[in-house]
Amino acid sequence: MKLSGAEILLRALELEGVDKIFGYPGGAVLDIYDRLPFSPIKHYLTRHEQGAAHAADGYARVTGKVGVCFATSGPGATNLVTGLATAHIDSVPVVAFTGNVPTFMIGNDAFQEVDTVGITRPITKHNFLVKDVKDLADTVKKAFYIAKTGRPGVVLVDLPKDVTREIADFFEEEYKSPVQIRSYKPVLKGHPGQIKRAAKAIATAERPVLYIGGGVVSSGAADLVVKLAEVANIPMTATLMGLTAVPGNHPFFLGMLGMHGTYAANMAVTECDLLIAVGARFDDRVTGRLADFAPNAKVIHIDIDSAEIGKNKTVDIPIVGDAKLVLEELLPEVEKQVVKNREFYAVREKWILKVRSWAERYPLWYEPSDVSIKPQFVIQKIYEVTKGEAIITTDVGQHQMWVAQYYKFKFPRQLVTSGGLGTMGFGVPAAIGAKIGRPDKTVFCISGDGSFQMNMQEIVTAVQHNVPIKVAILNNGFLGMVRQWQGIFYDKNYSQVHMDVQPDFVKLTEAMGGVGFRVEKPQDVETVLKEAMLINDRPVVIDFVVDREEDVFPMVPPGGALREMILPSYGKKKAKKAV
- Whichever of 318 and 388 has its CB closer to another protein, that residue is 318
CB of 125 to another protein, least distance (A): 7
Q: 1 an active-site residue?
A: no
Q: Which stretch binds another protein (CB under 8 A): 4-12, 25-33, 121-129, 163-171?
A: 121-129
Nearest to 467 by CA among 48, 64, 59: 59
Residue selected from 121, 350, 361, 507 as contacting another protein according to rule CB under 8 A? 121
Strand blocks (E) in 257-324: 274-278, 298-303, 317-320
Q: Can you give the length of the chain in residues?
A: 579
Nearest to 452 by CA among 498, 499, 486, 410: 499
- Whichever of 289 and 465 has its CB closer to another protein, that residue is 289
CB of 398 to another protein, least distance (A): 30
Q: Which stretch binds another protein (CB under 8 A): 66-74, 115-123, 208-216, 376-384?
A: 115-123
Nearest to 69 by CA among 441, 430, 385, 536: 430
- Whichever of 181 and 339 has its CB closer to another protein, that residue is 181
Q: 398 an active-site residue?
A: no
CB of 18 to another protein, least distance (A): 21
Pick the catalytic residue: 1, 38, 42, 111? 111
Residue selected from 34, 64, 105, 126 as contacting another protein according to rule CB under 8 A? 126
- Whichever of 121 and 574 has its CB closer to another protein, that residue is 121
- Whichever of 26 and 279 has its CB closer to another protein, that residue is 279
Q: What share of the chain is helix, strand, coil (3-state, %, to 5)?
A: 45, 15, 40
Provide the b/e sequence for 361-391 (b: ≥16 CB within 10 Å).
ebbbbbeeeeeebbbbbbbbbbbebbebebb
Strand blocks (E) in 454-571: 470-475, 515-519, 540-545
Q: At what angle do helices 5-15 and 136-148 cross, to 10 degrees?
A: 30
Binding track, positions 179-208, relative to another protein; x by CB under 8 A: --xxxx------------------------
How far apart CA 63 and CA 416 sit, in angstroms, is 11
- Whichever of 146 and 396 has its CB closer to another protein, that residue is 146
Strand blocks (E) in 116-213: 126-129, 154-160, 167-169, 208-212
Residue 129 is a binding residue for another protein (CB under 8 A): yes
Q: 259 an active-site residue?
A: no
Q: 111 an active-site residue?
A: yes
Enclosing H/E stretch for 360: helix 344-361
Q: Which stretch binds another protein (CB under 8 A): 176-184, 227-235, 274-282, 511-519?
A: 176-184
CB of 130 to another protein, least distance (A): 12
Calculate Rg over the CA atoms of the chain: 24
CB of 184 to another protein, least distance (A): 5
CB of 88 to another protein, least distance (A): 12
Residue 134 is a binding residue for another protein (CB under 8 A): no
- Whichever of 182 and 387 has its CB closer to another protein, that residue is 182
- Whichever of 311 and 361 has its CB closer to another protein, that residue is 311
CB of 182 to another protein, least distance (A): 5
Q: 161 an active-site residue?
A: yes
Pick the catalytic residue: 16, 20, 22, 49? 49
Residue 146 is a binding residue for another protein (CB under 8 A): yes
Q: Which stretch binds another protein (CB under 8 A): 175-183, 255-263, 290-298, 472-480?
A: 175-183
How far apart CA 430 and CA 443 sit, in angstroms, is 10
How far apart CA 202 and CA 347 sit, in angstroms, is 12
Residue 221, classed as helix, strand or coil, is coil
Q: Which stretch binds another protein (CB under 8 A): 125-133, 171-179, 344-352, 446-454?
A: 125-133
Residue selected from 17, 37, 40, 122 as contacting another protein according to rule CB under 8 A? 122
Enclosing H/E stretch for 458: helix 458-464
CA triplet 129, 135, 139: central angle to 5 degrees?
Answer: 65
Binding track, positions 274-313, relative to another protein; x by CB under 8 A: -------------------------------xxx--xx--
Q: Report CA-CA distances (Å) from 556 to 448, 483, 559.
A: 22, 16, 8
Q: Enumerate the β-bridge partners of residue 95.
A: 68, 155
Sheet holding 20-23, edge to edge: 42-45, 20-23, 67-71, 94-100, 154-160, 126-129
Burial level of 138, CB count in 10 A (0-12/13-18/19+)?
Answer: middle
Q: Which residues are catalytic?
A: 49, 111-112, 161, 481
Binding positions for another protein, rule: CB under 8 A: 117-118, 121-122, 125-129, 146, 181-184, 305-307, 310-311
